[in-house]
Each structure stands twice: as structure tokens, then as C-alpha cells.
Structure 1
């Protein structure tokens, strides 16, 4: 009986293009990857000491490398920048709010028999010039200027008695109304008189102290620059090509639309804080959110991660305390009183008040201030955020 072949001697059919292997000859060629070692089925994988690939023991790292990681120029620069930013935050907020000093509160004085001129001169002579009093004769015109925020109070002097009337419009700024009331109560007390205050344009029931618009604007701006900051940190400050840059702008546009619509929905339909002007407020929110996000992306494209700090400096450190939200411009010290209406925060708060309470007075100016910041951010982004190759010839050995 013939012997059966062993498993090692079992013939194998070769592919047509496969060379015959000589027994005992190594088929591994030079330059080929070494054959992988396989672990038999059912056995445990081989264990080894040490960290996984890409990691290293702390003991294996030189002390110089550890110090360089924390105290290197780039890391130390970011730490110093953050430290200065937080000091600026404290200085700006405390500087703006620690001591309100009313200055130049414009008040109309109305009376009979030319008493308005006498009273106005007495008010203008108060040390520190807390008010600028104007002698007026037309009460209807004075009320109109009060509701348009061109006046902070209307003082009705009664020459035939000891009780006068002060008209204010808290919807144009509750801090202005409170400051005017305090000043006239102090003046009247010195003259042995009393003052009755009448609010001819109060805030809506859900808008306590008239600061809902300030928090709404702050939310739109914070959301805009936060979204742009996260995109820049995760994907880089500059886009890889022109189309990706356009996609980033499209992202800002979509985000701005959603922020404006949903933010207004919360304060209008859900909370009932600011009602009756949904689409106007939503449009303001879209403009503010787009301004914050595009400006932040432009700063990131030029300055990298430092651009996020610049956005925080503008929208938080400088913008919030000077926005005229908690305290109106007339009771803020300089330079917050001057800068407020020119920054996106103040322009946004003024635009919201103009739509809700002032029948659109000066709305065009406030929108122009916001649009200017949007245009600056868009221009910087378009010039600096694009890595597109425009077809310019270069030497072959020049790096990309």
C-alpha cells in the first residue's frame, strides 16, 4: 500500500504568475515590510513594559523640556495676556460702576410768568453740572423730546405752591430717571419744596428696570464670538482654501439667523419680557451675532488664538460696562460714557430700546454703528483668512 503524504508534503496548486518556491528558501525580500507575528488563537497577547506609542514616562523627559512647555515664550505670552485681560476686566467694570456721577442730564423746565428761565439758571448753577436745564414753554414738545431720549426729565415748576412735578421716561433709561429724581428731590428739599414724579413712558411689565435689552444683546454677542472662537481653535484661524472660507461665512450667517430668531422667541413669547416687536428685535439679533462671529474670525485669522482675547476685550471688557444697560451713559464716568454708543454692545442696547420704547428714534445711527464693526471684521477676514493659491508661479524648490 502506498504511503500517504504528510500535511507538509500535500501538493498545493500555484497561481499562474507565482514562482515555484524552493524548499527551505526564505521568501522575504529586501525592502519588504517584516512579516507580522501572529498570536495563536486562544493564547494571551504578549505584554511589554512602558507607555503606549506616542506617550512617554515623566522620568524620561528632561526637566528643561517640562519648563519649556510651561514657561516658553509662546505659553508665557498667552498666560501674561490672559492675566492682563482679567485685570482689565476688573478695572473696566469697577471703574464704570463704582461711583456713578450724573453729568449733563438734560432737563426741560416749564413754568408760568417767565419762572422757567429763573429756575433753569438756578439748576445750571449747581456745582458739578449734574443737569443742563432748558427753559421751555411747550409741554407737548418737551414730552416728545423726553420720550425720544433727547431729554432725561421735564420739570414743571409751580410758582403758586410748594409742590412741583417731575416727568421722567424710565423706558429710555431707568438709571437716568432715578438720577434726575434724586437731584430734584435734593434741590427741592433745600428750598422747602416737594416733588412728585410721574413716569410718562414706563417699561413693559416683564422688563424689570429696563435692562432686559442689555442682557439680550449680551447673549447675542457672547454666543457669536464664542462660536467663532471654538471654530478657530478646532479648525485653525485660517481656512485652507477660498471655498472653505465661504463656508465659514455661511456658518456665521446661519448661526446669526438662528440666534436672532430663537433669542427673541425666548424674551418675547416664552418670558414675555419684551413683546410686540418680534421681527425687528430678531433682525437686530442677527446683525449683532454676525458682527461678533465674523469680527472674531477676522481677529483669529490675523493674530491666532490671541484674536480670541481681542474679541473678549472688545465685547466683554470694554463693551459691557459702557453699553448703557445697568447704568445709562449720562451717569457713567469717562471714557465709558463716550465709547459706549460706538461699540456693538451700546449700539445694540440703544437699538433695542429704540424699537421697543422710542418708536424707532435714532435707530439708523445705532444700526450703522453695528454695521461698521461687521464691515471691519468681514474685510479683515477676507484679507487674512484665505490660504487660496491664486496661480502665481514660484520656483519648484519653494515650500508650500
Structure 2
């Protein structure tokens, strides 16, 4: 229901004037209150399946290598020509002066693999990218043999341990932290809008510590997918959950109960495919390949690989991303709180409501009436003070009468036209 403020002849405000809702809103308000609430939340599963298809299926249905950086000790022009003819646009060879520099580039994640023609060797780091370590040597070996070279031997500079054979632990830890961070802040946004910044931030910090502790204890000592590093992983997860929580908390001021939509887009649907956890950016289509530079999943995954296996670019990039998301969240909190309060005042003054608020109010009234009906059926009545008394015997003649129910419009009996299956309560007069 909406309203507009009218004015008197002397220009003073005379209070809100009720404006009739449109035809759809009038029809919708006639449905059962509980059905109204359900209908107003069905956007979430629809959004979820659309996001899943457009992000996960679109990103992973046909990963294909493109512009994969490969280090070559010495000159790479001749081999690049052969690769461009056999696999155009797939491999980007980069010359390095010596083997040590090429090997460092592999373990740091700057290149996929390194090839040393002098030693007929290919160096990989499966702990950084298992898919790359498995596919790229097989891709460039035929080109090496085509130019007269011997089939190179493959040396894994950072092999994966047996408890993480395919290198997926970092991806799932990242996903757990992302979901934990956005869900803590999401419920704050849904139910804690009037809370002060200090209270909301405290909930995020405490909730983040609990989620990080539980996640790392389960992944490590309980499941055995991680060996050691419990303290480092706890601090790392805690920091990322706080950063994500602050960002989602700031967003919640602007989108209200729809906070799950931007939160899941940014921190789940885009972050996971672009993180490099499942496939590196060199295998992903656009825009996921570019998003690898900015999504939290990328920063978390690379930091996890550094903690667990001492591979990847190090902590600088991840810490910078963490700080940026936290700062953005704090700025959104400060600005969003003022915007939300101004918007709330305008709604109160104008008397405007939303369909969701109307449905909540209708459902509250319905549940109160249903509660009174249940009590009446058992010879009880609730007073204005909240006490429950027994009905006088002369007022119990119609206790067995039923009101016909309606599947959509509802009734005092609820959605189903059945007698409530509750046990009778024996009462004594005067008690």
C-alpha cells in the first residue's frame, strides 16, 4: 500500500493520503498470507539456477587453452613458429636467460611450464595448476619433436601430496570461506538493518572467526585434506571472511532483502569460475579470464597454494585484494547507513509499504487469528493481557463447527480444509 502526503489550504502537511494499489497488488493481497510470502521469495531459486547456468556451465562446459605462457631457456622463435602452425593462439612462448629463472617462473605461477632445450626437460608445478601440468607438456612435446628435438622428460617441481591428488582442496576451502563470509553479512542485512556499525562489525568478526575455525578443523584434523598450517589457515580464512562480510554488509544497505543477489554474483557465481581453482585463467573464456585479476576467489586460492605448497605469486597480491574489499565495504557501510536512514524516513512520512511488508503484516494477523481459533477449539481463550483462560461452558456449543478452507485465499483453519490434529486439553472451571 502506498500513500502521498497532502497539504491543507495554508500549506501545512495534513498527513498521508492513501493511494489505492494497482490491480495486480490488489489481486496478490487476496492470496493466503503464507502463500504471498512464499511467492515473494521465489525469485531466489530462479536467480540461483540462472546464475548457475550462465556462470558455472558457461565457464566450464568447454575449457580450452589460450595464450598459455610457457618459458623457454634461450631463443623461442623457432618453436613458437611450429606451435603457431599446429595450435594457433594456444601457447605464448617466453624466453628466459637460464634454467633457474625459468624454474622460478613456473613455481611462482607466472608461466605454465618451462622447457629447457639443452637438457631436453620440461618443468611443471602440479601443486599450482594440476590441469596445466598434465596438459601442456603433452601439447608442446609433438612440436618439439617436429623440429627435430628429442621427447623431453617432465620434472614436477612441486608435486601434489596424496591427500590432495588433483589440487582441489584450495578451491573448496576458498568456496567455503566465500560462502561463509557473504552469508554472515547477508543475515545481518536481512534482519539487522537498525543495528549500529559497531554491532554489525562485531558479528562479522566473531562469526568469521568461528567459520574459519570450523572450516579449517574439519578440512585438516577431521577430513585429512590438509596437513598442518592450522594457525596460518585460520588467520587467512578469518581475514578473508571479514573482508567479504564487510563488503556484503555495505551492499546490504542499498539492496535490503535482495542482498543475496549481488553477494552471490560477486562472491560465488563469478568468483569461483574465475578463481583459477578449477582451471587457470589461460583455460577460461571471457569474461572469466579477465575477472581472475579482481575476484576474491583468485586472491584466496593463490594465498592458499602459497601456504599449503609454497607455490604461486606470494601473499602481496592477495593481501592487497583483501584490503581493497574491506575498505570498499567500510565506505559502503558509512554511505549506505545514511542512505538507508533517509530512505526509511521518506517511507515512514509518506506511508509507503512494500508487497513484502504487507504480506508479513497479513501473515502475522493470520497466525494470531489461527492461534485464537486453536485455543477456542479446545475451550480456551486468550485475553488482552496475554493470559489464557477456559471458556465458559455455555459458550462452547460451536466448538465442533468448521469453516471451509480455500487453497489460495485461506481461512481460519489454514491452507488445508482439515481439522487440526491436536490433542484436547482438559480444563477445570475457574482455573
- TM-score where L is the length of structure 1: 0.70
Tell me if 1:187 matches 2:143.
Answer: yes
Moved over 4 A (4+): 67-72, 74-82, 124-127, 188-193, 386-390
Q: 1:281 aligns with which of 224, 233, 240?
A: 233
Distance 2:328 2:40 in 1: 26
1:5 maps to: none
3-state SS of 2:276 partner: coil
Query: Equivalents in 2 of 1:102, 1:191: separation in Å?
Result: 22
User: 1:374 and 2:330 equivalent?
Assistant: no
Q: 1:327 to 1:78 in 2, by over 3 A?
A: same
Q: Residue by residue, what CA displacement relative to the aligned partner does 1:42-61 show, whole Å, maximum 9, x if unpaired?
A: xxxxxxxxxxxxxxxxxxxx
1:318 to 270, 274, 279: 270
Task: Tell which structure's C-alpha radius of gyration is larger.
Answer: 1
Alignment of 1:224-243 (within 5 A): 224-233=181-190, 235-236=191-192, 238-240=193-195, 242=196
Q: Tell me the CA shift for residue 324 of structure 1.
A: 0.7
Classify 1:223/1:319 alpha carbon distance in 2 versus 1 (closer, same or farther; 3 Å): same
Change (3 A) 1:185 1:87: same
Give the secondary-structure state (helix, strand or coil) at the position aligned to 1:334.
Answer: coil
Q: Could you say if the C-alpha distance between residues 319 and 389 of structure 1 is closer, same or farther in structure 2, counting changes exceeding 3 Å?
A: closer
CA distance in 2 between counterparts of 1:79 and 1:260 reads 31
| Count of paired positions | 319
Asked if 2 retains the 8 angstrom alpha-carbon contact of 1:319 and 1:344, the reply is yes
Structure 1 stretch displaced more, 310-319 or 82-91: 82-91
Tell whether 2:279 aligns with 1:327.
yes
Q: CA deviation at 1:129?
A: 1.9
Aligned 8 A contact 1:110 1:139 in 2? yes
Cα gap change, 1:261/1:68 in structure 2, threshold over 3 Å: closer, same or farther? Answer: closer
Give the 3 Å change call, closer, same or farther, for CA 248–135 of structure 1 in structure 2: closer
Report if aligned partners of 1:82, 1:309 keep a CA contact under 8 Å in 2.
Answer: no
Q: TM-score by structure 2 length?
A: 0.65
Cα contact 1:107–1:132 (8 A) shared by 2: yes
- In the alignment, which residue of structure 2 is the partner of 1:140? 100
Residues 255 and 70 (structure 1 numbering): CA distance in 2 closer, same or farther, change over 3 Å? closer
1:203 aligns with 2:164: no
Paired with 1:272 and 1:68, the residues of 2 have a C-alpha distance of: 50
Show the counterpart of 1:131: 91
Mapping for residues 284-295 of structure 1, pairs under 5 Å = 284-295=236-247
Aligned position for 1:45: none
Q: Within 5 Å, which residues of 2 pair with 1:88-237?
A: 88-110=51-73, 117-123=77-83, 126-157=86-117, 164-188=120-144, 194-233=151-190, 235-236=191-192
- Residue number in structure 2 paired with 1:383: 335
Compute the RMSD of aligned alpha carbons: 3.3
SS state at 1:341 partner: coil
Shift of 1:103: 1.5
Where structure 1 has 5 or more consecutive residues not aligned to the other structure, the ranges are 1-61, 391-396
Q: Alpha carbons of 1:388 and 1:122: their partners in 2 closer, same or farther (altered >3 Å)?
A: closer
Please state how far the C-alpha of 1:327 moved relative to its aligned partner: 0.6
User: Quick check: 2:247–2:326 contact (8 Å CA) kept in 1?
Assistant: yes
Does the C-alpha gap of structure 1 residues 257 and 103 become closer, same or farther in structure 2, counting only changes over 3 Å? same
1:24 corresponds to = none
Q: Give, in angstroms, the shift of residue 258 of structure 1.
A: 2.2
Quick check: 1:299 aligned with 2:251? yes
Tell me: higher relative CO, structure 1 or 2? Use CA pairs within 8 A at least 6 residues apart: 2
Gaps of at least 5 residues in structure 2 are 1-25, 343-348, 352-431
Paired with 1:207 and 1:364, the residues of 2 have a C-alpha distance of 25
Q: CA contact under 8 A between 1:252 and 1:294: conserved in structure 2?
A: yes
Aligned-pair CA distance for 1:217: 1.1
The verdict on how the C-alpha distance between 1:239 and 1:176 changes in structure 2, with shifts beyond 3 A counting, is: same
Change over 3 Å in CA distance of 1:343–1:389 after alignment to 2: closer
Superposed displacement of residue 285, structure 1: 0.3
